Chains A and B, each alone.
Chain A
Amino acid sequence: NAGVTQTPKFRILKIGQSMTLQCTQDMNHNYMYWYRQDPGMGLKLIYYSVGAGITDKGEVPNGYNVSRSTTEDFPLRLELAAPSQTSVYFCASSFRGWNTEAFFGQGTRLTVV
Chain B
Amino acid sequence: EAGVAQSPRYKIIEKRQSVAFWCNPISGHATLYWYQQILGQGPKLLIQFQNNGVVDDSQLPKDRFSAERLKGVDSTLKIQPAKLEDSAVYLCASSLWDPQSTDTQYFGPGTRLTVL
The answer to whether A and B interact is: no
